[in-house]
A = this chain, B = another copy of it.
Amino acid sequence: MVPPEEFQLIRKWLSGFDRGPGVVLGIGDDAAVLRPPPGRDLAMTVDSLVAGTHFPVSAPAADVGHRALAVNLSDLAAMGATPLWGLLALTLPHADEPWVAEFAAGFRALAERHAMALVGGNLSRGALMATVQVTGQLPQGRWLGRDGARPGDVLLVSGWPGEAAAGLALWDAPPSTARDGLVRRYLRPEPRIALGQAALGVASAAIDISDGLLADLGHLATASGCGVEIELSCLPLSAPLQAMRGPSQARRDALYGGDDYELLLACPAAAQAALEAAAEAHAVPLTRIGRFCEAPGVRLLGEDAEALDPGAGFRHF
Protein backbone atom coordinates (compact mmCIF):
# COMPACT_ATOMS: atom_id res chain seq x y z
CA MET A 1 0.00 0.00 0.00
CA VAL A 2 1.38 3.33 -1.00
CA PRO A 3 1.17 5.91 1.78
CA PRO A 4 -0.71 9.20 1.44
CA GLU A 5 0.71 11.85 -0.84
CA GLU A 6 2.70 13.80 1.72
CA PHE A 7 4.42 10.55 2.67
CA GLN A 8 5.49 10.04 -0.93
CA LEU A 9 7.71 13.10 -0.63
CA ILE A 10 9.74 11.61 2.18
CA ARG A 11 10.22 8.18 0.62
CA LYS A 12 13.30 9.47 -1.15
CA TRP A 13 15.24 9.52 2.10
CA LEU A 14 14.86 5.77 2.44
CA SER A 15 15.37 4.72 -1.16
CA GLY A 16 18.88 5.83 -2.02
CA PHE A 17 21.01 2.93 -0.79
CA ASP A 18 19.49 -0.12 -2.40
CA ARG A 19 22.55 -1.21 -4.36
CA GLY A 20 25.02 -3.83 -3.26
CA PRO A 21 26.08 -7.44 -3.66
CA GLY A 22 23.25 -9.60 -4.90
CA VAL A 23 20.80 -6.75 -5.47
CA VAL A 24 19.33 -7.47 -8.92
CA LEU A 25 16.43 -5.02 -8.56
CA GLY A 26 16.21 -2.49 -5.72
CA ILE A 27 13.36 -0.29 -4.51
CA GLY A 28 10.58 0.77 -6.92
CA ASP A 29 8.70 -2.34 -8.03
CA ASP A 30 6.30 -4.57 -6.10
CA ALA A 31 9.27 -6.34 -4.51
CA ALA A 32 13.06 -6.32 -4.64
CA VAL A 33 14.88 -9.08 -6.52
CA LEU A 34 17.93 -10.52 -4.78
CA ARG A 35 20.48 -13.11 -5.85
CA PRO A 36 21.69 -15.16 -2.86
CA PRO A 37 25.39 -16.06 -2.83
CA PRO A 38 25.70 -19.60 -4.23
CA GLY A 39 26.21 -22.37 -1.71
CA ARG A 40 25.46 -20.20 1.31
CA ASP A 41 22.63 -20.23 3.79
CA LEU A 42 20.72 -17.12 4.85
CA ALA A 43 19.94 -15.86 8.35
CA MET A 44 16.78 -13.78 8.76
CA THR A 45 15.34 -11.86 11.68
CA VAL A 46 12.87 -9.05 12.38
CA ASP A 47 12.65 -6.62 15.28
CA SER A 48 10.55 -3.57 16.10
CA LEU A 49 11.35 -0.41 18.00
CA VAL A 50 8.22 1.24 19.40
CA ALA A 51 8.50 4.86 20.59
CA GLY A 52 7.86 5.06 24.31
CA THR A 53 8.45 1.33 24.75
CA HIS A 54 11.84 0.67 23.16
CA PHE A 55 13.21 4.19 23.02
CA PRO A 56 12.31 7.56 24.57
CA VAL A 57 10.08 9.65 22.32
CA SER A 58 12.66 12.42 22.69
CA ALA A 59 15.51 10.31 21.30
CA PRO A 60 17.25 11.98 18.34
CA ALA A 61 15.98 10.60 15.03
CA ALA A 62 19.47 9.69 13.78
CA ASP A 63 19.98 7.57 16.90
CA VAL A 64 16.61 5.85 16.43
CA GLY A 65 17.61 5.05 12.85
CA HIS A 66 20.94 3.62 14.00
CA ARG A 67 19.36 1.65 16.81
CA ALA A 68 16.50 0.20 14.73
CA LEU A 69 19.07 -1.38 12.44
CA ALA A 70 21.64 -2.17 15.16
CA VAL A 71 19.30 -4.38 17.20
CA ASN A 72 18.66 -6.46 14.08
CA LEU A 73 22.29 -6.65 13.00
CA SER A 74 23.07 -7.74 16.54
CA ASP A 75 20.87 -10.80 15.99
CA LEU A 76 22.85 -11.59 12.84
CA ALA A 77 26.07 -11.15 14.82
CA ALA A 78 24.82 -13.65 17.38
CA MET A 79 24.38 -16.17 14.54
CA GLY A 80 27.83 -15.47 13.06
CA ALA A 81 26.18 -14.12 9.91
CA THR A 82 27.33 -11.39 7.51
CA PRO A 83 24.69 -8.74 6.64
CA LEU A 84 23.37 -8.60 3.07
CA TRP A 85 19.98 -6.91 2.79
CA GLY A 86 17.45 -5.06 4.94
CA LEU A 87 13.81 -3.98 4.67
CA LEU A 88 12.28 -1.22 6.76
CA ALA A 89 8.67 -0.52 7.74
CA LEU A 90 8.35 2.88 9.36
CA THR A 91 5.16 4.35 10.81
CA LEU A 92 4.91 8.03 11.66
CA PRO A 93 2.08 10.12 13.11
CA HIS A 94 2.69 12.66 10.34
CA ALA A 95 5.06 13.20 7.43
CA ASP A 96 7.90 14.85 9.34
CA GLU A 97 10.53 15.18 6.63
CA PRO A 98 13.40 16.49 8.81
CA TRP A 99 12.85 13.62 11.25
CA VAL A 100 12.86 11.04 8.46
CA ALA A 101 15.97 12.57 6.89
CA GLU A 102 17.80 12.28 10.21
CA PHE A 103 16.47 8.79 10.86
CA ALA A 104 17.62 7.70 7.41
CA ALA A 105 21.07 9.21 7.94
CA GLY A 106 21.57 7.21 11.13
CA PHE A 107 20.22 4.04 9.56
CA ARG A 108 22.23 4.46 6.41
CA ALA A 109 25.56 5.17 8.07
CA LEU A 110 25.36 1.89 9.98
CA ALA A 111 24.10 -0.01 6.95
CA GLU A 112 26.97 1.24 4.82
CA ARG A 113 29.54 0.34 7.44
CA HIS A 114 28.29 -3.24 7.15
CA ALA A 115 27.78 -3.13 3.36
CA MET A 116 24.06 -3.79 3.82
CA ALA A 117 21.64 -2.59 1.13
CA LEU A 118 18.17 -1.33 2.09
CA VAL A 119 16.12 -3.10 -0.57
CA GLY A 120 12.56 -2.45 0.56
CA GLY A 121 10.58 0.00 2.58
CA ASN A 122 7.12 0.83 3.72
CA LEU A 123 5.90 4.14 5.13
CA SER A 124 2.59 4.35 6.94
CA ARG A 125 0.72 6.76 9.16
CA GLY A 126 0.54 5.45 12.69
CA ALA A 127 2.22 5.59 16.08
CA LEU A 128 5.97 6.18 15.78
CA MET A 129 7.64 2.81 15.26
CA ALA A 130 10.32 1.20 13.12
CA THR A 131 10.33 -2.46 12.15
CA VAL A 132 13.41 -3.79 10.41
CA GLN A 133 13.97 -7.15 8.76
CA VAL A 134 17.50 -8.17 7.86
CA THR A 135 19.05 -11.03 5.93
CA GLY A 136 22.63 -12.19 6.36
CA GLN A 137 24.67 -14.98 4.86
CA LEU A 138 26.25 -18.00 6.50
CA PRO A 139 28.37 -20.92 5.32
CA GLN A 140 25.98 -23.73 4.44
CA GLY A 141 24.79 -25.67 7.47
CA ARG A 142 26.75 -23.60 9.98
CA TRP A 143 25.58 -21.02 12.50
CA LEU A 144 26.21 -19.90 16.06
CA GLY A 145 23.30 -21.43 17.95
CA ARG A 146 22.11 -20.88 21.48
CA ASP A 147 22.12 -24.56 22.24
CA GLY A 148 25.73 -25.63 21.85
CA ALA A 149 27.24 -24.74 25.25
CA ARG A 150 28.62 -27.74 27.19
CA PRO A 151 29.68 -28.19 30.81
CA GLY A 152 33.28 -27.04 31.12
CA ASP A 153 32.94 -24.38 28.41
CA VAL A 154 33.99 -20.91 29.42
CA LEU A 155 31.64 -17.91 29.25
CA LEU A 156 32.81 -14.68 27.64
CA VAL A 157 31.11 -11.34 27.18
CA SER A 158 32.00 -8.56 24.75
CA GLY A 159 32.12 -4.88 25.56
CA TRP A 160 30.97 -3.18 28.74
CA PRO A 161 27.64 -4.63 29.86
CA GLY A 162 25.44 -2.31 31.90
CA GLU A 163 26.51 0.88 30.16
CA ALA A 164 23.39 0.99 28.00
CA ALA A 165 21.00 0.47 30.92
CA ALA A 166 22.85 3.15 32.88
CA GLY A 167 22.58 5.48 29.90
CA LEU A 168 18.83 5.03 29.80
CA ALA A 169 18.59 5.52 33.58
CA LEU A 170 20.59 8.75 33.22
CA TRP A 171 18.46 10.02 30.32
CA ASP A 172 17.33 13.11 32.22
CA ALA A 173 20.53 13.58 34.22
CA PRO A 174 22.67 16.69 33.64
CA PRO A 175 25.08 16.35 30.72
CA SER A 176 28.66 15.30 31.50
CA THR A 177 31.31 13.37 29.63
CA ALA A 178 30.56 10.20 31.58
CA ARG A 179 26.75 10.53 31.41
CA ASP A 180 26.80 11.40 27.71
CA GLY A 181 29.03 8.44 26.92
CA LEU A 182 26.64 6.07 28.68
CA VAL A 183 23.60 7.58 26.95
CA ARG A 184 25.40 7.14 23.66
CA ARG A 185 25.99 3.46 24.43
CA TYR A 186 22.24 3.12 24.88
CA LEU A 187 21.38 5.01 21.70
CA ARG A 188 24.14 3.66 19.50
CA PRO A 189 24.77 0.00 20.27
CA GLU A 190 27.47 -1.47 18.09
CA PRO A 191 26.44 -4.80 16.55
CA ARG A 192 29.37 -7.20 17.04
CA ILE A 193 29.33 -8.50 13.47
CA ALA A 194 33.08 -9.06 13.14
CA LEU A 195 33.28 -10.87 16.47
CA GLY A 196 30.32 -13.08 15.56
CA GLN A 197 31.93 -13.96 12.24
CA ALA A 198 35.20 -14.83 13.98
CA ALA A 199 33.37 -16.91 16.58
CA LEU A 200 31.60 -19.04 13.97
CA GLY A 201 33.18 -22.48 14.14
CA VAL A 202 35.13 -21.53 17.28
CA ALA A 203 32.49 -20.70 19.90
CA SER A 204 30.06 -23.44 20.95
CA ALA A 205 27.11 -21.07 21.52
CA ALA A 206 26.20 -17.38 21.31
CA ILE A 207 23.38 -14.97 22.10
CA ASP A 208 23.18 -11.21 22.07
CA ILE A 209 22.21 -9.29 25.20
CA SER A 210 18.97 -7.45 24.67
CA ASP A 211 17.02 -8.26 27.84
CA GLY A 212 19.97 -8.28 30.20
CA LEU A 213 23.01 -10.44 30.71
CA LEU A 214 21.40 -12.83 33.19
CA ALA A 215 18.13 -13.15 31.30
CA ASP A 216 19.78 -13.88 27.96
CA LEU A 217 22.39 -16.13 29.55
CA GLY A 218 19.47 -18.04 31.05
CA HIS A 219 18.01 -18.53 27.55
CA LEU A 220 21.36 -19.82 26.32
CA ALA A 221 21.87 -22.18 29.27
CA THR A 222 18.33 -23.54 29.03
CA ALA A 223 18.67 -24.10 25.27
CA SER A 224 22.01 -25.82 25.85
CA GLY A 225 20.64 -28.03 28.61
CA CYS A 226 23.27 -27.05 31.14
CA GLY A 227 23.95 -24.49 33.86
CA VAL A 228 26.44 -21.68 34.24
CA GLU A 229 28.35 -19.95 37.02
CA ILE A 230 29.35 -16.29 36.87
CA GLU A 231 32.34 -14.99 38.82
CA LEU A 232 31.07 -11.60 39.93
CA SER A 233 34.61 -10.33 40.39
CA CYS A 234 35.26 -10.95 36.69
CA LEU A 235 32.38 -8.77 35.42
CA PRO A 236 33.85 -6.00 33.28
CA LEU A 237 32.51 -2.77 34.75
CA SER A 238 33.62 0.32 32.88
CA ALA A 239 35.02 3.32 34.69
CA PRO A 240 32.19 5.65 33.54
CA LEU A 241 29.61 3.08 34.63
CA GLN A 242 31.13 2.78 38.11
CA ALA A 243 31.68 6.52 38.42
CA MET A 244 28.10 7.42 37.53
CA ARG A 245 26.30 4.53 39.23
CA GLY A 246 28.52 3.39 42.09
CA PRO A 247 30.00 -0.12 42.31
CA SER A 248 26.87 -1.88 43.55
CA GLN A 249 24.41 -0.41 41.02
CA ALA A 250 26.99 -0.83 38.28
CA ARG A 251 26.93 -4.59 38.89
CA ARG A 252 23.17 -4.63 38.83
CA ASP A 253 23.17 -2.67 35.57
CA ALA A 254 25.61 -5.18 34.08
CA LEU A 255 23.61 -8.22 35.20
CA TYR A 256 20.02 -7.07 34.87
CA GLY A 257 20.08 -4.08 32.53
CA GLY A 258 19.08 -4.67 28.92
CA ASP A 259 19.91 -2.97 25.64
CA ASP A 260 23.62 -3.80 25.61
CA TYR A 261 23.61 -5.74 22.32
CA GLU A 262 26.89 -7.30 23.35
CA LEU A 263 27.58 -10.97 22.65
CA LEU A 264 27.65 -13.74 25.21
CA LEU A 265 29.89 -16.52 23.87
CA ALA A 266 30.47 -20.05 25.13
CA CYS A 267 33.55 -21.95 24.01
CA PRO A 268 35.77 -24.83 25.07
CA ALA A 269 38.62 -23.59 27.28
CA ALA A 270 41.09 -24.47 24.55
CA ALA A 271 39.38 -22.06 22.13
CA GLN A 272 39.37 -19.07 24.47
CA ALA A 273 42.68 -17.69 23.24
CA ALA A 274 41.53 -17.80 19.62
CA LEU A 275 38.38 -15.80 20.46
CA GLU A 276 40.38 -13.31 22.48
CA ALA A 277 42.80 -12.83 19.60
CA ALA A 278 39.92 -12.28 17.18
CA ALA A 279 38.30 -9.79 19.53
CA GLU A 280 41.56 -7.92 19.93
CA ALA A 281 42.04 -7.81 16.17
CA HIS A 282 38.67 -6.05 15.92
CA ALA A 283 39.30 -3.86 18.97
CA VAL A 284 36.35 -5.38 20.84
CA PRO A 285 36.76 -5.95 24.58
CA LEU A 286 36.14 -9.61 25.46
CA THR A 287 36.13 -10.85 29.05
CA ARG A 288 35.87 -14.29 30.56
CA ILE A 289 33.23 -14.09 33.27
CA GLY A 290 32.27 -17.67 34.06
CA ARG A 291 32.02 -21.33 33.23
CA PHE A 292 29.27 -23.72 32.20
CA CYS A 293 28.43 -26.68 34.41
CA GLU A 294 26.12 -29.69 34.63
CA ALA A 295 23.69 -28.36 37.24
CA PRO A 296 20.97 -26.32 35.53
CA GLY A 297 20.41 -22.66 36.32
CA VAL A 298 22.56 -19.55 36.50
CA ARG A 299 24.62 -19.12 39.67
CA LEU A 300 26.38 -15.97 40.81
CA LEU A 301 29.65 -16.62 42.64
CA GLY A 302 31.35 -14.06 44.87
CA GLU A 303 30.98 -12.38 48.20
CA ASP A 304 28.13 -10.11 47.12
CA ALA A 305 26.17 -12.80 45.34
CA GLU A 306 23.34 -13.02 47.86
CA ALA A 307 22.90 -9.29 48.12
CA LEU A 308 22.78 -9.01 44.34
CA ASP A 309 20.23 -11.70 43.81
CA PRO A 310 17.10 -12.06 45.92
CA GLY A 311 17.03 -15.74 44.95
CA ALA A 312 20.20 -16.36 47.03
CA GLY A 313 22.53 -16.33 44.07
CA PHE A 314 20.45 -18.72 42.05
CA ARG A 315 17.98 -18.11 39.31
CA HIS A 316 15.86 -20.54 37.42
CA PHE A 317 14.77 -19.58 33.91
Contacts and interface: CB of A to CB of B under 8 A. Distances in A.
Contacts of A135: 44
Given A25-B143, A53-B125, A125-B50, A34 B41 contact: yes
B136 A31 contact: yes
B46 A133 contact: yes
B140 A2 contact: no
A227 B276 CA distance: 63
A2 to B, nearest CB: 5
A258 B1 CA distance: 9
A147 to B, nearest CB: 8
A182 B31 CA distance: 28
A35 interface: yes
A119 interface: yes
A138 B33 contact: yes
A15 interface: no
Nearest to A212: B2
B31 A75 contact: yes
Contact of A30 (B31, B121, B131, B207): B207
Interface string A206-246: 11101100010000000100000000000000000000000
A71 interface: yes
**Interface magnitude class on chain A:** 35 or more
Contacts of A25: 143, 145
A212 to B, nearest CB: 10
A106 to B, nearest CB: 18
Interface string A100-144: 000000000000000000011110111101010101101011010
B122 A131 contact: yes
A87 B44 contact: yes
B146 A29 contact: yes
A292 interface: no
A78 B133 CA distance: 21
A194 interface: no
B85 A44 contact: yes
Contacts of A211: 1-2
Interface of A: 1-2, 24-25, 28-36, 38, 41-48, 50, 53-54, 71, 75-76, 78-79, 81, 85, 87-89, 91, 119-122, 124-127, 129, 131, 133, 135-136, 138, 140-141, 143, 145-147, 206-208, 210-211, 215, 223, 258
20 contacts: A29-B79, A29-B145, A29-B223, A30-B45, A30-B76, A30-B78, A30-B206, A30-B207, A31-B79, A33-B143, A35-B140, A38-B38, A46-B87, A46-B89, A46-B120, A48-B89, A48-B122, A48-B124, A50-B124, A53-B124
